[in-house]
Amino acid sequence: MTDVTQEQILEALKSVKDPSCNEDIVSLGMIQGLQLKEGHVGFAIEVDPERGPSLEPLRKEAEQAVHALPGILTVTAVLTAQKAAGGDDHSGHNHDHGHDHGHSHGQPAAEQPLLPDVKSIVAVASGKGGVGKSTTSVNLALGFASQGLKVGLLDADIYGPSIPRMLGVAGTDPESADGKMLEPIKSCGIKCMSIGFLVEEDSPMIWRGPMVMSALEQLMRDVNWGELDILVVDMPPGTGDAQLTMAQRVPLTGAVIVSTPQDIALLDARKGLNMFRKTEVPVLGIIENMSYFSCPHCGERTEIFSHGGAKKTAAQLGADFLGEIPLDMAIREKADAGDPIVASVPDGDHAKAYKAIAAKVWEKVETLTESAGPGLKIVVD
Ligand code: ADP
């Protein structure tokens, strides 16, 4: 474990200068989506797409600057190109990528239908890492499948793709019959695809230029998802510009926010909520994870963190409270062993809790897709 803070990381990054103007990359606002988790650091450096390839040395220098801090285990920096060249506008008016329309902004390939046979797409998001977002995504996806739905799970967590491991399929190479379309991996009755299948989980990702965004698009466009009732997207944690852009790039039906009770107090979930509201993606509700501790020996319930924060916050913010999941050894062990609890103990209390949340989410999704008319039109600019 390291005591290094986000501020110290940014301070270290200030030593890295953009060669084109000799100003540091932090002051220039180029650092996005900084994540720090148990000594592992990830962030994106936003650059003009045309400069992408020439900035590889800068990317490396940034990684090294952070790596030099005490206790840092790995550093993953990726170059992203999401701003309009020369622009720094995040106010939204050049981000007009709605999920039900498809205007071209002078870009080629407007009006390309993505995922034509996918009826709905739901993002699972969190204000920060480590709150159990991926665990929740997997178990929710299995909860949908237990209702008889056709389910896909897209792991878009570019900072730490953990879905292959949680579904017990890490190290599997997706096959491609025609050399173009990838076949999703099937596990526990759901189809899944992850950035982690394309990149080793513990090897640093080196995606240059605009590759991060196009990787996500590729995972939607070049994967043979086939007919799905619902595609669950495990989003990267955080509420920064990288996440915002991603939320705009995926034609979402709605989003659910996962939070722990203590993060609710820190307002992380609120930020998540605001992010989706900014993008006009309906927020389907908040799930409180690690809500209370359930003792594996006696079953006693202990409310370690002032339990119930999510319910209160949800009410205050006009979002729905979808349910709570306890902090329980079995959930962690099953997730980390690649045998998620909804699949391995389908009649247990935890599976029931996930399934009840899945049922609530599905009800909302159905209402939303019905009101959007038959065949939700999914278009990406
Ligand atoms: P995130 O995707 O938000 O970074 P993960 O889903 O990877 O978080 O969870 C982080 C760790 O916490 C994992 O080891 C996971 O097994 C564990 N975990 C998640 N939810 C629970 C829970 N309800 N009870 C116990 N452990 C949990």
Reading the chain (381 residues) residue by residue, the pLDDT tens digits are 568 899 999 999 999 999 888 899 999 999 987 878 778 888 888 887 677 667 878 988 999 999 999 988 878 777 776 544 333 333 333 333 333 333 333 333 444 567 889 999 999 998 888 889 999 999 999 999 999 999 999 998 877 788 999 999 988 888 888 888 889 999 999 999 998 777 655 554 444 334 556 677 778 888 999 999 999 999 888 777 667 766 777 788 999 999 888 766 555 667 777 778 777 788 899 999 987 787 777 877 777 666 667 777 777 777 889 999 988 889 999 988 999 999 999 999 999 999 999 999 999 999 888 766 444 444 333
Ligand 1 atom closest to the Cα of residue 335 is 16
Residues 233 and 212: their CA atoms lie apart, in Å, by 15
Q: Give me the pLDDT at residue 374, please.
A: 42
Q: Are 216 and 156 in contact (CB under 8 A)?
A: yes
Q: Give me the pLDDT at residue 202, please.
A: 54
Structure tokens at 93: 């008016």
Specify the residue with its C-alpha closest to ligand 1, atom 27: 332
| Residues framing ligand 1 (Cβ under 6 A) | 126, 129-135, 162, 237, 289-290, 325, 327-328, 331-332, 335-336
Q: C-alpha 52: how far from its chain's center?
A: 24
Specify the residue with its C-alpha closest to ligand 1, atom 5: 132
Specify the residue with its C-alpha closest to ligand 1, atom 8: 132
Structure tokens at 61: 């220098």
Specify the residue with its C-alpha closest to ligand 1, atom 26: 332
Pairing assessment for the beta strands 121-125 and 230-234 based on DSSP bridges? parallel
CA of 127 to the centre of ligand 1 (A): 14
Ligand 1 atom closest to the Cα of residue 289 is 23
SS3 284: strand
Burial of 98 (0-12, 13-18, 19+ CB in 10 A): middle
Q: Give me the pLDDT at residue 361, please.
A: 96
Structure tokens at 284: 């389907």
Specify the residue with its C-alpha closest to ligand 1, atom 9: 132
CA of 345 to the centre of ligand 1 (A): 17
Chain position carrying tokens 């159905």: 366
